[in-house]
Amino acid sequence: MELVRFHKLATELTRNQSDTLFVLDEPSVGLHPLDIRTLLEVLQRLGDNGATVIVIEHDLDMIANADYVIDMGPGGGTAGGDIVATGTPDDLSRDPHSVTARYLSHHLHPTKR
């Protein structure tokens, strides 16, 4: 199944992406960390080819590699749905309103405690 998903994205890499919007919902679910690295490379190439890529994601590697993050919350379900923080991953990692910031900060700066 995952190979099919990667093949579809890889096929898109051969096309002009200037007018293309990709919206991916949790594409890293079930992937090995090395596969996530490959997925990040594919998404970067899509962007380099002019596409706009929006990813709904919880994986910290994916979030850390984003150009811009919109953090929704503050919780899930009825406790969520509000924008609590926005910015680059580094900006978000320092935002006191973001629950994600706690985890992202340690992910981006593992030696800082």
Query: Are 45 and 92 within 8 A, CB to CB?
Result: no
Rounded CA-CA distance 2/34 in Å is 13
CATH number of 30's domain: 3.40.50.300
Residue 110 sits at the vertex; the CA angle it makes with 106 and 111, to the nearest 5 degrees, is 130
Task: Answer whether residue 80 shows pLDDT above 80.
Answer: yes
> Which SS3 state, helix, strand or coil, does residue 71 take?
strand
Domain interval for residue 52: 1-66
Element (H, E) at 5: helix 2-12
Count up the domains in the chain and report the number.
2
* Token pair of 112 as six digits: 């800082």
Each residue of 40-76: pLDDT tens digit?
Answer: 998 998 888 889 999 999 999 999 999 999 999 988 8
pTM: 0.83
Is-contact 95 87, C-beta < 8 A?
yes
Residues 11, 60 within the same domain: yes
Residues 74 and 52 in one domain: no
Q: Is 50 helix (H, G, I), strand (E, B) or coil?
A: coil
